[in-house]
Structure 1
């Protein structure tokens, strides 16, 4: 922490706004013109659209609240640790919280968003619950936020944007180079088999190899036995034994 930076609880800097779900037995509450976000909509840094929408009557009749565009939304129950920005005014369900600064002169939203992303693992670690992990409102409001000057906050955001842009470019170049290498390899491989050689002979696959089908019965998994290979184990780069299960072959049902 740099000298001169203040530390303040999130609840002092921002309003933490909860949400809710309109009654599902009221179909007239759904399909309106107000986006209604759940964790399922938190697929990217910015929520630009939602799977569901609701009416203004639904907002009045439920615990949901509309979070103004441009603000941060975090998941505090399902999808714990996720954080997004809103592209438009959006209502939220009970698993999300809107984080709205009380003053735009004290905390920059882009800085706040980056800070939340940096502490996602901390939030996940604090989750409690037997089936669904979540954090309570007092915990969120009590989070200690570093507060440099607004000028410093914006400088940090600019540096992060530049760094992430460089990372994205490097990743894209690496993926392109890998794809080019794969294309070259498979092109060369195909050329070898197509050109062949005068000394090569040809035959059908069945004439050369013993082609067998797998069992069509539901497998009985064992602690020891043979790896059971399915289509999910066939990768472009080869056979993967990740998460493979073991079974014992029944000699009476040996495939032909």
Structure 2
């Protein structure tokens, strides 16, 4: 069966929304979609703002979105898309999002929606992108691109197969994601139980009394230098899931590092505790033998070795009890900011060192089992994503048969 290849603007109306200035927003105005509103297959207006009703109904009237339009993100995460439903309206376009509207009855909007999700289309589009940290494309780039499509009858057959297959895949994905959440909640529940049943013979005191040092990193953004002449400079993004992650960080000069660490040199066995941003309240033990400095988004904690085992303290800080305490100690209504003074006052309980080490061994065993389960579910998610991509590739190379669709489902 032959497919037709045409330039996108020959069969699709392509439009990007207008830029908007702060004074053009209106609290109860016309809902204006932004790039975060367009999710994978649906529209979420929870982060949207409203444009001036006057502008939306006069100067920007032609940017009003219609049912059946395809919205597509062209900044940041390129390629998230959704078909507009009646329940989503009214909506006004905004910059960083384009809409597509079919100019011919020979092109099914759902077929176009799936076509735009293929790796082939997205990879070609990214080839036109500008920017390094944040990728951007525009209508001018999209207008250079082609779309290939069969007869309308064949388009609808392909869409029906993909709809059925993707419904089953999405259900499997939702179940797998829930299982993954359940596993993580199981570990948190285990931590809560462990630290609730320490026993009668324990010490209860402020964290500051059990530590040699509790301090945050340098507040001012330093001048960064090349890796070859600098020292690693870690921040909150280097503490994830209870580990110090060394896959992304900047460097500062050796002289500045020496100045910053003159009285509080970080060392192996210390705790790095995130204190700023959405991931605040996450602790990890330094397990590497190397010199580094820390940014203000991290708290450096050095436990008194005769009192506290570093790993016991890490798990205690990551337990639901202390996480709750950290949330109640936040000092900012904007970006979360866990004040070091509050951290020093955290009331902690701990048994003798030998008991602490026994507790740590039990937690690590449980953590290993949890990690195995997480790997299984993560691999399942990857397999489901790969299956989706495979089906899309077959669909738009003319290889998707009815039997293939039924097998995928």
Q: What residue is the counterpart of 1:97 in the other structure?
A: 98
> Which of the pair is proportionally richer in helix?
2
When structure 1 is superposed on structure 2, of 120-129 and 55-64 the one drifting more is 55-64
**Match 1:173 to one of 172, 175, 180:** 175
Alignment of 1:47 with 2:46, yes or no, is: no
What secondary structure, in the 3-state scheme, does the structure 2 residue paired with 1:164 have?
Answer: helix
Query: CA separation of 1:211/1:59 partners in 2, compared to 1, >3 Å: closer, same or farther?
Result: same
Deviation at 1:144, TM superposition (A): 1.6
Q: How does 1:183-194 map to 2 (within 5 A)?
A: 183-188=185-190
Alignment of 1:151 with 2:149, yes or no, is: no
Query: CA separation of 1:62/1:207 partners in 2, compared to 1, >3 Å: closer, same or farther?
Result: closer
1:148-168 alpha-carbon deviations (Å, 9 max, x no partner): 122221222223223333333
What secondary structure, in the 3-state scheme, does the structure 1 residue paired with 2:219 have?
Answer: coil
**Match 2:12 to one of 11, 14, 20:** 14
Query: Contact 1:84–1:113 (CA<8 Å) still a contact in 2?
Result: yes
When structure 1 is superposed on structure 2, of 177-186 and 68-77 the one drifting more is 177-186
When structure 1 is superposed on structure 2, of 221-230 and 146-155 the one drifting more is 221-230
Deviation at 1:190, TM superposition (A): 5.4
Q: What residue is the counterpart of 1:112 in the other structure?
A: 112
Give me the whole-angstrom Cα distance separating, in 2, the residues matched to 1:187 and 1:76. Answer: 41
For structure 1, the residue ranges without an aligned partner over 5 or more in a row are none
What secondary structure, in the 3-state scheme, does the structure 2 residue paired with 1:52 have?
Answer: strand
Give me the whole-angstrom Cα distance separating, in 2, the residues matched to 1:36 and 1:196. Answer: 53
TM-score, length basis structure 2: 0.48
Query: Contact 1:30–1:58 (CA<8 Å) still a contact in 2?
Result: no
Q: What residue is the counterpart of 2:245 in the other structure?
A: 241
Query: Contact 1:110–1:157 (CA<8 Å) still a contact in 2?
Result: yes
Q: Would you say how many aligned residue pairs link Structure 1 and Structure 2? A: 246
TM-score, length basis structure 1: 0.70
Give me the whole-angstrom Cα distance separating, in 1, the residues matched to 2:33 and 2:195. Answer: 53
For structure 2, the residue ranges without an aligned partner over 5 or more in a row are 252-256, 266-300, 303-409
Query: Contact 1:65–1:91 (CA<8 Å) still a contact in 2?
Result: yes
Query: CA separation of 1:83/1:207 partners in 2, compared to 1, >3 Å: closer, same or farther?
Result: closer
Deviation at 1:123, TM superposition (A): 1.3
